[in-house]
Amino acid sequence: MGLGLMEGHTSTSNNRINDRGKPHRRKPVLSEADLSSALNCPACGKVFAGTKRRYHLERHLITHTGERPFPCPHCPYRANVRENLARHVRHRHPDTVVTPEETGTLDA
């Protein structure tokens, strides 16, 4: 799933020697620049980095607050994100889906 975390920073001029011995291949972890601007989820500590980190964090926070601002019009189900509601309607109320364009094109 593309989370946009691959920034491809290769110019680490001041990288400290963390692993003594031969420098084995860097794991695809966040660079220090990314970490300095990364956002942490205050609830679970999940790190969000990248250009859309705030967007991802805000979406993620909803999973903690339990806020479900997208009620299903056909049953008491409420979704925390619109994509989930669209998926719910498509799976649970397939007969009601007349215009798939309106519920988004995101497939499960």
Shortest separation between residue 30's beta carbon and Zn ion, angstroms: 17
Buried b (16+ CB within 10 A) or exposed e, 6-31: eeeeeeeeeeeeeeeeeeeeeeeebb
3 state DSSP class of 70: strand
What whole-number distance in Å separates Cα of residue 52 and Cα of residue 49?
7
Q: Does 97 contact Zn ion by CB under 5 A?
A: no
Shortest separation between residue 45's beta carbon and Zn ion, angstroms: 7
Looking at the Cβ atoms of 39 and 72, the one nearer to Zn ion is 72
Site for Zn ion in 1-40 (CB under 5 A): none
Q: Does 75 contact Zn ion by CB under 5 A?
A: yes
Looking at the Cβ atoms of 33 and 75, the one nearer to Zn ion is 75
71 contacts 77 by C-beta, under 8 angstroms = yes
Looking at the Cβ atoms of 12 and 58, the one nearer to Zn ion is 58
